[in-house]
Copies of this chain bind each other. A is one copy, B any other.
């Protein structure tokens, strides 16, 4: 381990990069361009000496002619010619997992931007790094250019975290922002996002919330010291959000954001990803477009908000590089904040025990007694209603099966239990006064 101020030049740190997509190519370019600056900062050269990717000949706008080429990322990870392995291949298994595992097994430090890999194998990989006495950095895996991993792991001292929540998917935030600003449908916004390269051809992973769940599971482990458990997260995406929902939210002083939320409760850790009503004046409501943000509520620090770019080659490469600098300096921290042996099995707070406000939108049949019936069911379950909105301009074009017209009825509840809401809605459906599934969106006071 080097010490600064020793006055002698340290050997260059030889880096192998597997995966030369946008982030990988940007990283190589930054290291080639800013190498001298970094050496001045670090007292040590960081030098990419070898790369692995699928196509050797593809034009990536960087010169790789002087670098050793590997077809097999595992062979690169194990090569004697490198001191640090950077994995930018992606995917939760396959070559990414094999290569990262191979490097850690021989005690070679690894930096990765792969959230899926971390969400699935994070605990095992952290354990492997600790056993080999080496490092595993993954700053870029969550919220691209925002240094949230470092902040959670090292920046907050002993602050006990009560809640972490954030906007961690740029595709969803872009779509919701445009729906809010321009009164366009989800489908049309998605098409634009795809055209602009903000959404994949198959957008399911992003728009249905799974990407956010992967990231949340990593943050939650760093915050609460429980094992990573993305499969236990309650996930709802944004594809059912309508222009109606967005307009009513705006009328009531809210914006709709896809949030990942993890919080301590008396029942365990509640982890959930869903569209959320957030107050228009709150800091998180101001995070628009492809921006990401992570907010923390702690005992000692109260609330902290970090906002910035969640994706893109340069921000993500910058986060990869910050891990590389830590490794070059010899910084050693347990990858998941506490030694992996100290992680506790995840204790899931059941979603039914969630308490909060709810936005509920019904298509009610336009017959006498519909509203009264819905309101009665609510009251039977002691659900207090904060506002009821029934206006002709909100009415959807749906008709009931018997051909009668419907009216849109929106109710905003006060604090109530998720289980009460679910039971009430089941009874309301059975009563036969509504058409289709009600839209239910949780409200966060923040």
Q: Which residues of B contact A443 (CB under 8 A)?
A: none
Please tell me if the beta carbons of A151 and B160 are within 8 angstroms of each other in the complex: no
Considering the chains assembled together, what is the distance between the CA atoms of A318 and B154 in angstroms?
Answer: 11
Please tell me if the beta carbons of A322 and B283 are within 8 angstroms of each other in the complex: no
Task: Say if the beta carbon of A352 comes within 8 Å of chain B.
Answer: no
Task: Say if the beta carbon of A427 comes within 8 Å of chain B.
Answer: no
- Dominant SS at the A interface? mixed
Please tell me if the beta carbons of A304 and B308 are within 8 angstroms of each other in the complex: yes
Please tell me if the beta carbons of A334 and B304 are within 8 angstroms of each other in the complex: no
**Identical subunits present:** 2
Instruction: Identify which of residues 276-320 in chain A touch chain B, using a CB-to-CB cut-off of 8 Å.
Output: 281, 283, 286-287, 298-309, 312, 314-315, 317-320
Q: Which residues of B contact A337 (CB under 8 A)?
A: 41
Please tell me if the beta carbons of B147 and A322 are within 8 angstroms of each other in the complex: no
Please tell me if the beta carbons of A30 and B302 are within 8 angstroms of each other in the complex: no
Which of these binds chain B: A197-205, A207-215, A250-258, A323-331?
A323-331
Please tell me if the beta carbons of A159 and B304 are within 8 angstroms of each other in the complex: no
Instruction: Identify which of residues 35-82 in chain A touch chain B, using a CB-to-CB cut-off of 8 Å.
Output: 37-38, 40-41, 43
Task: Say if the beta carbon of A417 comes within 8 Å of chain B.
Answer: no
Considering the chains assembled together, what is the distance between the CA atoms of A130 and B3 in angstroms?
Answer: 9
Task: Say if the beta carbon of A145 comes within 8 Å of chain B.
Answer: yes
Q: Pick the contact of A133 from B3, B154, B342 — CB < 8 Å?
A: B3
Please tell me if the beta carbons of A158 and B300 are within 8 angstroms of each other in the complex: no
Instruction: Identify which of residues 69-102 in chain A touch chain B, using a CB-to-CB cut-off of 8 Å.
Output: none
Considering the chains assembled together, what is the distance between the CA atoms of A307 and B306 in angstroms?
Answer: 7
Q: Which residues of B contact A318 (CB under 8 A)?
A: 156-159, 298, 300-301
Please tell me if the beta carbons of A324 and B34 are within 8 angstroms of each other in the complex: no
Task: Tell me whether A305 and B305 are in contact in the complex, defined as CB-CB below 8 angstroms, given that A151-B151, A318-B157, A321-B158 are known contacts.
Answer: yes
12 of the cross-chain contacts (CB-CB < 8 Å) are A4-B332, A5-B133, A41-B342, A145-B304, A147-B151, A147-B156, A157-B321, A283-B307, A298-B318, A301-B314, A301-B315, A304-B309
CB within 8 Å of B: which residues of A?
A: 1, 3-6, 30, 34, 37-38, 40-41, 43, 130-131, 133, 139, 145-147, 150-151, 154-160, 281, 283, 286-287, 298-309, 312, 314-315, 317-326, 329-334, 337-339, 342
Q: A145-B301, A301-B309, A307-B307 are in contact. List 14 more A-B contacts (CB 8 A).
A: A4-B333, A4-B339, A5-B133, A30-B158, A40-B342, A41-B337, A156-B322, A157-B319, A281-B286, A300-B317, A302-B309, A302-B312, A303-B309, A305-B305
